[in-house]
Chains A and B, each alone.
Chain A
Amino acid sequence: MSGADSDREWVATVRQRLIALGQTSAGERVLIALSALALSVLVGTVIVFVAGLVATCRDPVLTLGGTTLCYDPFYVFDRLFLGALGDPFAGGWSPLNPQFALTLRETTVLIFTGLSVALAFRAGIFNIGTQGQLIVGGLLSALTVLWAAPLVSGGLGALLLVPLGIAAGAVGGGAYGAIPGALKAYAEANEVITTIMLNFVAVLVARYLVTGPFNDPNSQANQTPPLPEIGQFPSVVFDPRTDFSIFALLLALAFVGGLYYLLTQTAFGYDLRTAGIQPAAAEYGGVDAARTIVASLTLSGAIGGVGGAVYVMMILGKFQTGVPSYGFDGITVSILAGNNPLGVVFAGALFGVLKSGSTVVAFATNVPPQLVGVLRGLIILFVAMPEFFRLVGRRLAAREDDAGPAPVGGGADD
């Protein structure tokens, strides 16, 4: 057999494997994800162990002869996962503990950004701009609440201000998402480039606005004045000190349900999904491609903008420069979820655990944050890769159906 033949065979095998992976059932996927998680913890344990041997520290966890071990790998992962949940096995556990609140708080914002990216993905658009849309939405929401706060008062104010802020966030993020949408639809500008560049624009314009015209004169930081109490998500159930409101999480879940319904049950969702899978076929079938692109990026931006509003009105209580990279994490959340709105909840929760767990590790051990970042990246990489290959496999399968040998007997005319 010639070399070229065996090469082709090898490629064909990989193709078949990928396509097979693309057809795994939901149960199999959960199993794959759990094994990937376990494997990543195993690899991470080795890394922490080796790093602990190499590092020098004040109080090593283990001393054997001349060698010292600085970090206890088991304890690091114990803190990363159990710590993030508030130690469920320690007795006296309550789901309202502050660490679990932090986990849910991060999860909430990540659900929004994950949904934002997932929606665009389903329409075949790679929206890297969720971070910028979140910043614009958050800023507009803060400014709107600050502007409206003196006009309303009391209990009625709280009922009006928070929805107003959310709406402002959606408008800001949506308008900012519409720009790359219009550029793609009418000027054929690649959305990957435009959304990335618009992120920088958002950061810089926001910085200009909060250092200049909307600066808080009472603070050295680059931020707007603090929002009034009635302009922030009310704390019920959870301790107000945790900066987490169950309403925000419920809102996020409502968005999940709404988006799922939109994608699977409505004509617009059908257009959007077909445009994502087969743009040419969709257009042939009567879908207005330009309109769908603008609409899906606008909607995607609006969801990111609501995420920004939640960040501003629940977590920070003002807009400040240096917004954490929720938007970029949203890309990974979306891939992890296979671009499925329901999956975003679980992917967002995993991310939330990792983010919150990192602060527990930082507090409870002397492991440097960079090493914790490595562990986090490792877990995400391991869990996301099978999902990534599955998406590739599905693409391949779709193409094979498309270009594969036509069935004998004129099935093509159906």
Chain B
Amino acid sequence: MPVSRRTLLGSLGTVTATSLAGCIGGGGGGDAAARIGMVYATGGLGDGSFNDQAQTGVVRAEEELGIAYDESQPETASEFGTLQQQYAQSSDPNYDLVCCIGFLQADALTENANQYGDQQFMIVDSVVDASNVGSYVFAEHEGSFLVGLMAGRLTTTSFSAGAGSTAGDSTNVGFVGGVESDLIKKFEAGFTAGVKYASDDVDVQTAYVGDFNNPSGGQEAAISMYDSGSDIVYHAAGNTGTGVFQAAQEAGKFAIGVDRDQSVTKSSYSDVILASMVKRVDNAVYSAVESVVDDEFEGGATTALGLEQNGVEAVFGQELGEDIPQDVKDEMSTAREDIIAGDISVPTDPNQVS
């Protein structure tokens, strides 16, 4: 028998809180336009990357659309299903939408979407085929192509800015991935394709740390890349990427951030972050919430967000952005137009990069 958890929680909470001081915080849930449940990925809030970006979206929805939200940070993959169920089962308050952040939640959601047919869900980074789930996927390869192009150009010229510099005769750059998976390979494929587009002579060194939350592993991987001649390393590794930034500072070289403008979220490294491949997870969350508020939620639909929809973009670092030569920036904008127009086709699999 599914027990209405929030009812119990609500009544008990009132008792405890009143006995504490008789002054209960409002919570603001009663007259909200919609109630949203957030189940984050295992990296947790404070990663300065993926989860924080998702939270930005729901915070914006709270301010602009007047919704209320609750959030949960699972510690392991086996908790995804439990937390999704807790939101789905709750009837006081009733959640209008449960946002599942990250592709690891897909299996649990496939099961729960069936079990809780009346509950609306959305998932980021994966496609769940159910009539009550809205799926949002990104064209990470397109954005990665642009930063790859930039890296390829800068590594072959003598460029220095902030705390880093490139050796003009360098012919390699690096890529550090979190867990090896099709998703992260899209970043790698786009980046490599961009580098090769800039110059066929530049090679990309690749390493997968195997974890999204292992900064020291990221640091080791990046150090060995810088030692063997890379001057720019791009990471798609969540919090593991923090180690890449540390390594860049120690080596006096550059790094490229991911998911958010990391020269802002990790501002102590802004003197080595050339740019970030921003993935607008916040837009995905916001637009899903907006569609629920407007009663236009489309279950079963898959929304693909690429350069054209501003779902992904290359954002220059707040400190180093001005120093990047204008011709490189121009070339990146041209490439962006070409990708949108279909004149450049960016591969999603590293093996397809010619």
Name A residues whose Cβ lies closer than 8 Å to a Cβ of B: 58-64, 72, 74-75, 78-79, 82-83, 86-87, 90, 92, 94, 96-99, 102, 204, 207, 211, 219-223, 226, 239, 241, 243, 315-316, 318, 320-322, 324, 358-359, 362-364, 366, 368-369
- Distance of A185 from chain B, by nearest CB (Å): 33
Known: A362-B72, A363-B70, A369-B44. A72 touches B16 (CB 8 A): yes
Contact B70 A61 (CB under 8 A): no
Q: Which of B79-87, B169-177, B242-250, B302-310 contacts A (4 or more CB under 8 A)?
A: B79-87
**Is B183 at the interface (CB under 8 A from chain A)?**
yes
Residues of chain B having any CB pair with chain A under 8 Å: 1-3, 5, 8-9, 11-13, 16-17, 19-21, 23-28, 42, 44-45, 70-79, 81-83, 85-87, 89, 103-104, 106-107, 111, 115, 126, 179-183, 210
CA distance A82 to B28 in the complex (A): 26
Q: Which of A59, A321, A359, A369 makes the CB contact (< 8 A) with B82?
A: A359
* Chain A residues within an 8 Å CB radius of B25: 59-63
| B11 A322 Cβ-Cβ under 8 A | no
Q: Are B76's CB and A324's CB within 8 A?
A: yes
**B107 engages A226 (CB within 8 Å):** yes
Q: Is the CB of A102 within 8 A of B82?
A: yes
- Residues of B close to A359: CB separation below 8 A: 72, 74, 79, 82-83, 86
User: Given A62-B20, A220-B103, A75 and B13 touching (CB < 8 A)?
Assistant: yes
* Min C-beta distance of B58 to chain A, whole Å: 11
- Given A74-B16, A207-B210, A363 and B73 contact (CB-CB distance below 8 Å): no
Assess the B106–A220 pair: CB atoms within 8 A: yes
| A102: B residues at CB distance < 8 A | 82
A61 touches B20 (CB 8 A): yes
7 residue pairs from A and B, CB less than 8 Å apart: A62-B21, A72-B16, A97-B3, A226-B107, A241-B115, A322-B42, A363-B5
Q: How far is the CA of A294 from the CA of B79 in the complex (A)?
A: 36
Contact between B17 and A362 (Cβ–Cβ < 8 Å)? Answer: no
CA distance A28 to B163 in the complex (A): 63
With A61-B25, A62-B20, A62-B25: A368-B73 Cβ-Cβ less than 8 Å: yes
Most chain A CB neighbours (cut-off 10 Å) among B1, B5, B19, B42: B5
Q: B85 to A61, Cβ gap below 8 A?
A: no
Q: How far is the CB of B109 from chain A (nearest CB, A)?
A: 12
Question: Which residues of B sit under 8 angstroms from A321, Cβ to Cβ?
Answer: 179
C-alpha spacing A75/B8, complex, angstroms: 13
Residue in B26, B85, B180 whose CB lies within 8 Å of A98: B85
Interfacial chain B residues near A358, Cβ < 8 Å: 75
